[in-house]
Structure 1
Amino acid sequence: MTAATGHHFARPGNRFWPVLHLSGFTPRLLKPTEQGELLAFGLGITNVVARATARADELSPEEYREGGRLLAAKVTRLRPRWLAVVGVTAYRAAFDDRKAQVGPQERRFGDTRVWVLPNPSGLNAHWTAATMAEEFGRLREAAS
């Protein structure tokens, strides 16, 4: 759906946009078509790997590593205070950190701190919208 619409987390039922709002990052629930409004809230959005897939496990280890390299270069250039990676599996693969867990990471890119957030896909059912919003909220509090 993301590839078809050109908007992140566009599949109906994906919990990203509701969780972003529930956690306090946005003052209202945004639609995927409103992703451009994130900048007004001091947020940005991008992909670790630019190729759209239905499931994260459709990406190769090489694609993840190359995506991680490109993302690290982008973060080093743009110098945000925080980089949030949605999905611990994606983070582990992109940055070769097999022991990473959801939460703040030791790794930094220059002065940019890193936080891994749970993947809001419905396939990640052991995280509820409420528990994801708590974790997103932990990052929001750390970033403020």
Structure 2
Amino acid sequence: MTPEELAAARDRVIPDVVAGGLRVLFCGINPGLMSAATGHHFARPGNRFWPVLHLAGFTPRRLLPAEQEELLDYGLGITNVVARATARADELGAEEFREGGRLLEQKVRRLRPSWLAVVGVTAYRTAFGERGAKIGPQDRTIGATRIWALPNPSGLNAHWTAESMAEEYARLRAAADAPVTPDIPFTPGLPD
């Protein structure tokens, strides 16, 4: 990509990779310029999303960004908190994150994934007003959809290695793979 092609991608929106009833809907902060220029989520070469997804056991092989539609075959999808592309996430304001959180909540209610996985705990905190949120499962739900905050796979996130990120993503995978048991109310007088 030339600098001109990347600059022309600013503020573009790339389509979500979604379907109803997904196991996990991964939610990025917003598309970077490389993603907007190619039309593929997490397309920047230094981004660790695709290798971490494979290391965590979500996919049988490492997918390329251009193969993102294959995620649907595994019950996975991708969206973003904020739809417009920027060179850096810090170009987004708090109000834009909050509005993105509101729109994301509507999308989740419509699509009903089992899990919403926000890749970036700071983005989750800002979008949903959960200032004390930490990496891992959250108490908050959107309807029946549970939420998990994951480390941001950006190469700029030096606090996490691909291996330590994969461990956290694998914790989500185990939760997403666990059988769902419906709550069965207790009826007095009947054997339990």
What is the TM-score of this pair, normalised by structure 1?
A: 0.98
RMSD value, Cα: 0.6
Whether contact under 8 Å (1:7, 1:33) holds in the other structure is yes
1:119 to 137, 152, 161: 152
- Cα deviations by residue, 1:86-112 (Å, 9 ceiling, x for unpaired): 000110111011110110000000000
- The one-letter amino acid paired with 1:118 is P
1:45 match: secondary structure: strand
More helix by share: 1
Question: Residue in 1 aligned with 2:51?
Answer: 18
Q: Give, in whole Å, the separation in 2 of the partners of 1:70 and 1:4.
A: 23
2:80 match: secondary structure: coil
Whether contact under 8 Å (1:25, 1:41) holds in the other structure is yes
Aligned-residue identity in percent: 77
Q: How does 1:102-113 map to 2 (within 5 A)?
A: 102-113=135-146
2:117 to 56, 72, 84: 84
Q: How does 1:1-144 map to 2 (within 5 A)?
A: 1-144=34-177
Give the Å deviation of 1:57: 1.3
2:78 match: secondary structure: coil
Gaps of 5+ in 2: 1-33, 178-192
Aligned length: 144
Larger Rg: 2
Q: Give, in whole Å, the separation in 1 of the partners of 2:137 and 2:88.
A: 24
Give the Å deviation of 1:54: 2.3
1:72 match: secondary structure: helix
Gaps of 5+ in 1: none
Whether contact under 8 Å (1:56, 1:90) holds in the other structure is no
- Cα deviations by residue, 1:26-51 (Å, 9 ceiling, x for unpaired): 00000000111100000010111001
Q: Give, in whole Å, the separation in 2 of the partners of 1:111 and 1:26.
A: 24
Whether contact under 8 Å (1:3, 1:52) holds in the other structure is yes
- The one-letter amino acid paired with 1:83 is L
